[in-house]
Amino acid sequence: MLMGDPFEPPPDVPPRSVLTRDCSACGACCSAPDIHALQKPLGVPCVHLDSGCLCLIYDARPQVCRNYQPDWVCGEVAPIPTLEGRIWRFLEIYGLEQEMARK
């Protein structure tokens, strides 16, 4: 079974930038989701993320981080100028902003 292009946004979401198929080092995937393997809560940057949004334990990162693959969400959040803004947009895309607001 052929899967669709993971860089193609859903029909109701216009891309914010040209699609990128590589990591943009925006830090959103290391900040927005909860990462159980690192005891990292939702919406909080990983303690291993440096000020340039690069992973300080990249070579020893957990499997969940190794398995993450860039997709259309990266093109949507990467152009946002602040990490806080990128986190919020990531949470909006996945419908998690209400859960974050309750914390």
Domain boundaries, the chain: 28-101
Instruction: Write the Ramachandran bin of 44: left for phi over 0, alpha for psi from -120 to 50, otherwise beta.
Output: beta
Beta strands in 1-103 (DSSP E): none
Residue 99 reports pLDDT greater than 60: yes
Residue 20 reports pLDDT greater than 90: no
Residue 10 reports pLDDT greater than 50: yes
pLDDT reported for residue 47:
96
Indicate the DSSP class of residue 40.
B
- pLDDT per position as a tens digit, 27-66: 999 999 999 989 999 999 999 999 999 999 999 999 999 9
CA distance 61 to 26: 17
For residues 75 and 84, the model is more confident at 84
